[in-house]
Copies of this chain bind each other. A is one copy, B any other.
C-alpha cells in the first residue's frame, strides 16, 4: 500500500424526506445564494421543498447553470454574489450545478481572473462555504473537492480540486431521483462505474481492502442497473445507486492506491469538442483505454474479470478480453452507446492529443506513459 492522507468533512444527510432537514443545516446568520439548473426542480417538487426549508433565511436565487457548467454563466453568479455580499452557497441539482457552485465559491473571493484556477492551477486560498441538495447521482461531487467547468470562449473543459470546496453538507433524498429519465439514470450509473475503474484498474500495490471496496461498488451497480431500468420508481434501487455514486468518488477507494484518469481526460475533450454527455464519453473511451493499456493493467484486469464478472478459465488473455467486452456490454445494456460512430462523430479526433498536450494533461496513466501517441491509439479504438 502507498502512503496516503484521507479526510472527508462533508456531512451526508441521506434518505426519504431529508430535504426538510435543510432547515437545520443551513446557517441562519448568513446570506444565502441558492443555485440551480434548467428548472427541472420546479417540476419535480424539489424547489418547493427547498423553499419550505429556507423559510426565514435571507436568500437569493440564481438559475440556469447548464450541464457541463459554463464559466460564462458562473461569472454572472459571481457578480451577483459579490454585489449582494452573499456568504453561503446552496446548490440544488445534479453534479453540474454543484460543480458550477464550487467554482463560484472559489471565484467570489479570488483576486485575479478566476479561470486561472482551472487553466493555470492557481491556488484557491479562500472559498465561500457551500452545501448541496443532490438530485442526480453520478459525479460524487456531493462529497469531494473536485469541480469541472467548461468555457465557451476557448472551447475548454477543465477540472480543479480544492479542500475548501467540499460541501459542508449534502442532502441526498433518493425519492427525488425517481423522476430522472432513462438517459440521465444510465449516465449516472456509467459515471459512477467509471470513477471506480479509474481508481481500481491500475497496478497492484497489495491493497486488498481497497480492491474489495472498489469491487463492492462495481458489483452493486451491475446488480442495480437493470433493476432501475425495469422499475424506475423503486426507492430502494434508487437509494442503492445514489449511495454507490457517492462512494465511488468520496476519496476512500483512492486511499493508498495508484490512479489513472486517462479516460476522463480524453472524455472531457470529446465533450468540449462534440458536446457528448460526460457519461457517453466514458462509455466510449473506457473500453478503448482498457484494450490499449491491457499490458499495464494486466494483473488488475484479471482480478476484475474473476471477482466482478465471475469469469473463470485458464487463459489470462481470454479473461481480459471477456472482462472488457462485459464492461462495454454493461454500458450498452443501459442504453449508452460505446462507439464514436454511433454518435455521428468521425472527424477531427486528431485535435485531441494535441489539446491534451497543450493544456498540460500529458503524460497520463498510472505509470505516466500515456503520451500523444497512446491517446491517438485509444481514440482509434473508440471509433467504430
Contact = CB atoms under 8 A, between A and B. Distances in A.
Interface residues of A, number: 41
B7 A10 contact: yes
Contacts of A209: 216-217, 220, 240, 243-244, 247
Interface stretch (A14-22, A35-43, A337-345): A14-22
Contacts of A217: 209, 212
A247 B223 CA distance: 24
B5 A12 contact: yes
A14 B7 contact: no
A154 interface: no
Given A217-B209, A224-B208, A240 B12 contact: no
B256 A15 contact: yes
Contacts of A2: 15
A239 B14 contact: no
Contact of A212 (B18, B220, B239): B220
A236 interface: yes
A340 to B, nearest CB: 32
Interface string A215-233: 1110110011000000000
Contacts of A13: 5
A213 B219 CA distance: 11
A206 interface: yes
B1 A240 contact: yes
A14 B243 contact: no
A200 to B, nearest CB: 12
A229 B149 CA distance: 51
A62 B215 CA distance: 44
Contact of A4 (B14, B212, B223, B255): B14
Interface in A304-323: none
A8 to B, nearest CB: 7
Contacts of A216: 209, 212-213, 215-216
Given A220-B208, A240-B207, A11 B3 contact: no
Contacts of A1: 14-15, 236, 239-240, 243
A14 B255 CA distance: 9
A252 to B, nearest CB: 7
A335 interface: no
A13 to B, nearest CB: 5
A245 B324 CA distance: 33
Given A209-B243, A216-B215, A256 B14 contact: yes
A207 to B, nearest CB: 7
A3 B2 CA distance: 34
A30 B293 CA distance: 51
Nearest to A12: B6
A209 B192 CA distance: 13
A211 B207 CA distance: 20
A275 interface: no
20 contacts: A1-B15, A1-B239, A1-B243, A3-B14, A3-B15, A3-B18, A5-B11, A5-B12, A5-B13, A5-B14, A7-B12, A14-B255, A207-B240, A207-B243, A208-B220, A208-B223, A208-B224, A209-B244, A212-B216, A213-B213
When A and B form their complex, which 9 residue pairs have the shortest distance between CB atoms, in order from nearest? Answer: A3-B15, A212-B216, A7-B11, A206-B236, A6-B12, A1-B239, A209-B220, A208-B220, A9-B9
